[in-house]
């Protein structure tokens, strides 16, 4: 191949030609919107570190769900902030826990909207760790039954997909057995297979009040330095029955998304996390980055790397713009 026979600029001359040559598209249906649910009534609480993101009480979710459905988004992923926390995160697996209530309210209002529920204990434990915490350590095997119970209660509340984000070993298998034993064999598992111990979760922890009281999550979440280890995590989760897998965060880990895409027979999701959102927003607000273009480019890049679907706090704004 050589110039002047080849002139790549030929296909860049007009928007119609660029559209003809375009390899990757992002549509609202590719995007999943995170929703934070809080106790109380009539609550729409802005999250300070995440402009335009709110925490809603359950009674406010029906309207929110309808708007998300009308925008054509692919679904929602739910996070809960309970009124009370304890050592073992009971709020996560309570039958009328905050996310269980939220899922029921959303399924009542919009039965066809896809509802994913994050499965983790960190928002529900007083120590803020993702599992049972003893002597400065998160106990893996003791945590598994609690995650399994949480998943069963979320399935009972009508969630289509449960998404464990705790990074305990063996949790996908434990959740699958518990769901099947309780008759929820049709509930899917989206595993946060390659979830890194990332500083980019900072704003989320403000929103979800889930910062560990002591220590950090490096004893269970992955070391940001490791790419090949992600493949081991993915293989294990697939062998335990994961229906979908996720890489998180997204933009700083595009190589991991690509590697996941190459080995995964199941859909690959990527989570454009809170810090990615807040970082872009901060620059947008200062006029340093162009809002529409940078949002779209960030999503296209994540899709191009290999993510089939993207969880993003930009989902609603992106859909509003493309739908005019």
Does residue 204 belong to the site contacting ligand PBG (CB under 6 A)? Answer: yes
Does residue 165 belong to the site contacting ligand PBG (CB under 6 A)? Answer: yes
Tell me which stretch binds ligand PBG (CB under 6 A): 24-32, 52-60, 152-160, 202-210.
202-210
- If the CB atoms of residues 4 and 86 are measured against ligand PBG, the closer one turns out to be 86
Does residue 81 belong to the site contacting ligand PBG (CB under 6 A)? Answer: no
Residue 12, helix vs strand vs coil:
helix
Does residue 33 belong to the site contacting ligand PBG (CB under 6 A)? Answer: no
Tell me which stretch binds ligand PBG (CB under 6 A): 106-114, 204-212, 254-262, 279-287.
204-212
Residues that are catalytic: 195, 248
> Which residue number is nearest to ligand PBG in terms of Cβ?
204
Does residue 314 belong to the site contacting ligand PBG (CB under 6 A)? Answer: no
Give the Å distances, CA to CA, from 167 to 5, 160, 183, 217, 253: 52, 21, 25, 10, 17
- If the CB atoms of residues 151 and 210 are measured against ligand PBG, the closer one turns out to be 210
Of residues 53-72, those binding ligand PBG (CB under 6 A): none
- Taking each helix axis from N to C end, the angle separating 291-305 and 254-263, rounded to the nearest 10 degrees, works out to 40
Residues 6+ apart with CB under 8 A from 225: none
Does residue 233 belong to the site contacting ligand PBG (CB under 6 A)? Answer: no
Does residue 122 belong to the site contacting ligand PBG (CB under 6 A)? Answer: yes
Does residue 201 belong to the site contacting ligand PBG (CB under 6 A)? Answer: yes
Residue spans of alpha helices (H) in 252-314: 254-263, 274-285, 291-305
Distance CA 321, CA 28 (A): 10
Does residue 191 belong to the site contacting ligand PBG (CB under 6 A)? Answer: no
Of residues 82-121, those binding ligand PBG (CB under 6 A): 118, 120
Burial 31-60 (b: 16+ CB within 10 A, else e): bbbbbbbbeeeeeebebebbeebbbbbbeb
How long, in residues, is the chain?
324
Residues binding ligand PBG: number (CB under 6 A): 12
Distance CA 137, CA 147 (A): 17
Does residue 274 belong to the site contacting ligand PBG (CB under 6 A)? Answer: yes
Beta bridge partners of 162: 117, 189
Does residue 205 belong to the site contacting ligand PBG (CB under 6 A)? Answer: yes
Site residues, ligand PBG (CB under 6 A) = 118, 120, 122, 130, 165, 201, 204-205, 210, 217, 273-274
């Amino acid at each position: 191949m050589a110039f002047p026979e080849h002139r790549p600029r030929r296909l860049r001359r007009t928007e119609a030609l660029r559209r003809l040559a375009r390899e990757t598209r992002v549509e609202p249906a590719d995007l999943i919107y995170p929703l934070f649910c809080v106790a109380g009534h009539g609550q729409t609480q802005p999250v300070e570190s995440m402009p335009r993101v709110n925490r809603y009480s359950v009674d406010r979710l029906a309207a929110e769900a309808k708007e998300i459905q009308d925008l054509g988004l692919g679904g929602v992923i739910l996070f809960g902030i309970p009124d009370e926390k304890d050592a073992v995160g009971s709020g996560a697996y309570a039958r009328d826990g905050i996310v269980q209530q939220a899922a029921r309210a959303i399924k009542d209002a919009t039965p066809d909207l896809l509802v994913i529920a994050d499965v983790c204990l960190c928002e529900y434990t007083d120590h803020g760790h993702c599992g049972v915490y003893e002597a400065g350590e998160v106990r893996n095997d003791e945590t598994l039954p609690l995650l399994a119970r949480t998943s069963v209660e979320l399935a009972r509340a009508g969630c289509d997909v449960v998404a464990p984000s705790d990074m305990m070993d063996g949790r996908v298998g434990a959740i699958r057995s518990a769901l099947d034993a309780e008759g929820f064999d049709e509930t899917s598992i989206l595993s946060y297979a390659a979830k890194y111990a990332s500083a980019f979760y900072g704003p989320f922890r403000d929103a979800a009040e889930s910062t560990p009281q002591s220590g950090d999550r490096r004893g269970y979440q992955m070391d940001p330095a490791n790419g090949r280890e992600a493949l081991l995590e993915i293989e294990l989760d697939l062998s335990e029955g994961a229906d979908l897998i996720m890489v998180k965060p997204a933009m700083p880990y595009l190589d991991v998304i690509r590697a996941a895409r190459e080995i995964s027979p199941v859909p690959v999701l990527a989570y454009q996390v809170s810090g990615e959102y807040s970082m872009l927003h901060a620059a947008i607000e200062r006029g340093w980055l162009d809002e529409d273009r940078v949002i779209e480019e960030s999503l296209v890049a994540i899709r191009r790397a290999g993510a089939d679907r993207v969880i993003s706090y930009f989902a609603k704004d992106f859909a509003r713009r493309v739908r005019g």
